[in-house]
């Protein structure tokens, strides 16, 4: 079966211009985390996966934060299905979801914790969940270190 093509060169050009990094949702969460004193890497490569990036990476804690666009990643609340060239779009969007699952599995196999959020989620709530996860990791690391040194 031959893969369907985009519905038109216009649509193809417009979609290729869609931002896939430094979205307003990512920037808002990063700003809140930075203001709270957290330091992180952005667009950090996923270990062992060519061309895949972590939106916000806390490398020491091995925490990957990914903020997904509702349309591109199949948000259960906001996803839409284009009517023109429907089969091509269905395959494209289904593959994005599969790719997300592969990325999660790869990161977890490398010992990372993965937090995924939707672009529509409140940046304050997202930043709080990230901070809470980081604090739990820090406490756990402290506990392990104390146990190893017999204190």
Any idea which residue has 């979801």 for tokens? 97
Q: Is 86 helix (H, G, I), strand (E, B) or coil?
A: helix
* pLDDT at residue 21, as a whole number: 78
The pLDDT tens digits along the chain (151 residues) read: 445 555 566 655 555 555 567 899 999 999 999 999 999 999 999 999 989 999 999 999 999 999 999 988 989 888 888 888 889 989 999 999 999 999 999 999 999 999 999 999 999 999 999 999 999 988 887 767 666 666 5
Any idea which residue has 């952005």 for tokens? 42
CA distance between the termini of the chain = 64
Question: What is the spatial distance between Cα 145 and Cα 140, in angstroms, rounded to a whole number?
Answer: 9
* pLDDT at residue 4, as a whole number: 53
Q: If 0-12 CB within 10 Å is exposed, 13-18 middle and 19+ buried, where does residue 106 land?
A: middle
The CA-atom distances, in angstroms, between 130 and each of 81, 98, 106 are 31, 24, 20
* pLDDT at residue 2, as a whole number: 45
Question: What count of other Cβ atoms lies within 10 Å of the Cβ of residue 108?
Answer: 13
Beta-strand (E) ranges in the chain?
41-45, 53-58, 63-68, 113-118
List of domains in the chain: 19-146 (3.40.960.10)
């Amino acid at each position: 079966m031959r893969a369907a093509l985009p519905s038109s060169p216009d649509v193809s050009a417009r979609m290729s211009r869609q931002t896939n990094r430094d979205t307003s949702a990512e920037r808002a969460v990063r700003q809140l985390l930075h203001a709270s004193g957290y330091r992180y890497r952005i667009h950090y490569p996923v270990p062992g996966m060519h061309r895949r990036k972590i939106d916000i990476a806390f490398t020491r804690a091995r925490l990957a934060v990914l903020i997904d666009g509702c349309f591109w990643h199949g948000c259960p609340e906001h996803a839409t299905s284009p009517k023109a060239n429907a089969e091509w779009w269905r395959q494209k969007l289904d593959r994005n979801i599969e790719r997300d699952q592969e990325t999660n599995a790869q990161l977890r196999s490398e010992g990372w914790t993965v937090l995924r959020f939707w672009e529509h989620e409140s940046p304050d709530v997202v930043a709080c969940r990230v901070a809470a996860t980081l604090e739990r990791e820090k406490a756990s690391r402290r506990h392990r270190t104390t146990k190893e040194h017999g204190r």
